[in-house]
Amino acid sequence: MTYREALKQGIREALHADGRVFLIGEDVGRYGGAFAVSKGLLQEFGEDRIMDVPLSESGFVGAGIGAAIAGMKPIVELMTVNFSLLAMDQIVNNAATLLHMSGGQINVPVVIRIGCGIGRQLAAQHSHSWEPLFAHIPGLIVLSVGTHEDARYMLAEALKSPDPVIVFEYTSMLNSEKEIPANITQVDISKTKVRRVGKDISLITYGTGVYKCMDAANELAAMGIDVEVVDLRVLRPLDEETILASVSKTHRALIVEDAWKSVSISSEISARIMEKIFYDLDAPVLRLSGVEVPIPYPVHLEEASVPQKNDIINAVKKILNHD
């Protein structure tokens, strides 16, 4: 199944399961979604459930928040993460705060899906990995869809939350194909997932880094290096217990992300490792992040701006040699 189809089937299943669920966003209806994720859903569910909206992120995200307060289960789609800045007032000052400001009386069970990540030659206007901006905000649950199984089943769990959930989906992965194991029918959005068990080093990552790290781990295994791959999956609140348990076991950590290194997810994880289990480390924690430049348009520069499989392999070898 393609990543795109997995996302679509997750939305379709949610619409069938609960009549309160509806999808709202730019071009989600007649056009079938900017990335064809919602193609065909308008014909199946009608205009009351699949709603095209004007180009006003603040307006339709606010409508989603209002609908959630009124008892509906809206799925709000933001086409790309750069457009989310236009809705930040609604997300940060309303969705994330209303439960607190109402003394626990008002829940905001809205799910906001955001196209994210580096790739597809979208250049500096549309290529961003801004997950750290949202992971900074109390009151939000922030999820990263790094695998096909999460693309298929994460939305259903997000819709169960009484609190606002931000779901990052990765446009560069839309056409990629993977098998989803038949025995997986739901995922745990409160827990980090160890995708590969190993003993020599923990590769901690999320989003597009997951499959890159898995591929790197397979190549490193041929060199006799046993790598553990940890998919963060939930970026807020972090599953600190699973992360620290992995590093305590392997005694080394490499954190991989497309986001810029300064004030990032990797910054936070590195700090927590140093604060909580410093004496379990056999080598310094290393971070492998995006180059701190606006993302270039040419493919070769775009690829050079974020960690690739060979970068991960070289970094792991460096850490082990240091030891």
Instruction: Indicate if 126 belongs to the active site.
Output: yes
Rounded CA separation 248/90 (Å): 40
**Do 311 and 280 touch, CB atoms closer than 8 A?**
no
Q: Which two tokens stand for residue 313?
A: 């392999």
**Could you tell me if 207 and 145 are in contact, meaning their C-beta atoms sit under 8 angstroms apart?**
yes
**CA Rg, the chain, in Å?**
20
Among 5, 57, 257, 268, the active-site one is: 57
23 contact partners, CB below 8 Å, separation of at least 6? 11, 15, 38, 41, 49, 50, 51, 74, 75, 77
Residue pair 316/227 in contact by the 8 Å Cβ criterion: yes
Buried b (16+ CB within 10 A) or exposed e, 20-38: ebbbbbbbbbeebbbbebb
Phi, psi for 78 (deg, rounded to 5) = -105, 120
The DSSP symbol for 92 reads I
From the candidates 126, 257, 268, 302, give the one annotated as an active-site residue.
Answer: 126
Write phi, then psi, for 294 (nearest 5 degrees): -60, 140
Which residues are catalytically annotated?
57, 126
